[in-house]
Structure formats: C-alpha cells, structure tokens
Structure 1
Amino acid sequence: MSEKAVDSIDLGSWARFTPSLVSFLSNDVDAGARLVFYVGQPLLEPDTQLTAPGLANKLLRRKAKISSDKPGIAVLVDQTQGALSYTALAPRVDGLEQLLLGPAHVMQLALLGWDAQPNALTFKTTDAAKLAEIITRSLLEVFKVSHPADLGLDLA
C-alpha cells in the first residue's frame, strides 16, 4: 500500500471525505493495515478537573491527569473468511494513563454506537460505508474537527 493510496482520501471537504474514505477502505487497503486520523490539538484543557477512572480513584477522589497528546481514531483492517473487517479505536488514555477523552466525549461516542472499554472505545463492522459514516460523524460531532484538512493522517 502506497502513500498514493492514502492520497485518494479527499481532505478537501466533508462531502468528498466520506465517499473517498469508503472507496479507500473498499479498494485500496489490505488486511493488517492501520489507518490513523488525529486532530490538531487536545480535546481537554490542561486545567480540566476530572476524577481519574476506576472505582478506587473515585472513592479517593483522585484527580485525573490530562494528556497533552492529540486524540484520534485508528482503523485496524483484518481479514476473516476472505472478507475485510474493520475495527475503529478511539483511545481514552495515552501510554502514561493520562486522559485523552473526557466523560462527555465517551458518552457522545457511545451514543453514536461506539463500545466503551476501559482504555478505548471501539466500533467494529464489515461495512466500509458504515465505518466511514461513523468516523465522519465522530470527527465532526465529538472531536470537533471543522474541516477534514485539519486532520492528520497516518498509514502503517
């Protein structure tokens, strides 16, 4: 898979982004690929006061540490029985267990159909169009990305 393949994802407008992502996922991506969309800035302010995740932290009222990393969505591509399947991941915490997403973000993603796990939210499907739509809605509504050109995009 080449950088040219990633260039087929149109970052010029949301109207072109979603169909080009569907085309990319359906035609240009191989099993084992990882596609990452990330936003340009953290969603949580450094001075945000949130309780750290976990029952013990809530009982002890420990404050959560806020990550300075940029949040994003990773798409993992797998192949089972000859068909591609997709898993989208939105990490809740970074590698240092600092928060990337707050409770409001987690709730919004859950309302869009994401599964809340302790360290990440996941969305699994075999339908590229459904995945592209959920990624677009998540980036717009939860991550507050105003234009696709503001996205970072990595392919591994």
Structure 2
Amino acid sequence: MEALFSKKVCLTPTEIEQRLKSVSIQPTMQRISICRYVLCEADHPTAEEVKEWVDSRSFKMSLATVYNTLNILVSVGLLREFKFSCLGKSVYDSNIVDHYHFFDVKNGKFHDIDPSLLSLSSQLPAEFQVDKTDILLTGNLIH
C-alpha cells in the first residue's frame, strides 16, 4: 500500500496561463514562472526556495513579489499554505486534496500521506463541526 501520493504533472506555460485565467488571475511572466515551480516541480517549498529557483531560471524578482503571488495562489485555491513549527516558516503545497504530512527530520523533506491510511477515529461531541484537519507526523523515513 502506497502512503505517498500526488505525483507532479508538469504544465506548459500555456496551461499555467489558462489555469490562472480560470481563477481570474492576470497571468504575468512572474506569476507564470512562480507557478511553473510550485505547481510542477517543487515539493512543499518555502517562499525563499521559490525565489531562489525563479531567480536562477528566469529573472530576478523581490521576495515580496514571491510572497504576494503565493498568497494570491492560496486565496484562489491553487495552493495550500502550511505553517509547521518544525520549520519556523510556511511551506506551500500544490496538492489541494485533503491529506496529511510526514516530515522526515533527517533530510528535512515533507511527504504527503493519504488520510485513509491513518485510522483516526474521533468521538467528538455533536456540537463540534470539523471543517479542516492538519496533521503532521514527524520522524525518519526508513529506506
């Protein structure tokens, strides 16, 4: 049984542009470049990692531009933002399907976990309505 999921499929610049337009975002070169990384290549990157990748492959942009673009992508549902205390900063996830995370403390990598693999039975009182669950498991991935 495979616990990890969400294999990345690379989008063309035209597909990225169409995806941005579909959520009423103006597809600028900066936004397309950032999307190329976070939607196609990166796995739970920080804003600083996004900036480093974009700067090395296209053109330089400010960290503020990166944060603003990431925040826009989160607000329209193309990305999810997670603030994990083990990092002390946010990571961005293009897997917007409900899932859990495993953080490998040895190599500093996040892995998506299918929630059906964890048996979490909750006997909450009826007045509790759960809208969202964020679960982070930490440990070492044994290869």
The answer to whether TM tops 0.5 is no
Greater relative CO (CA pairs within 8 A, separation 6+): 1
TM-score (norm 1): 0.27
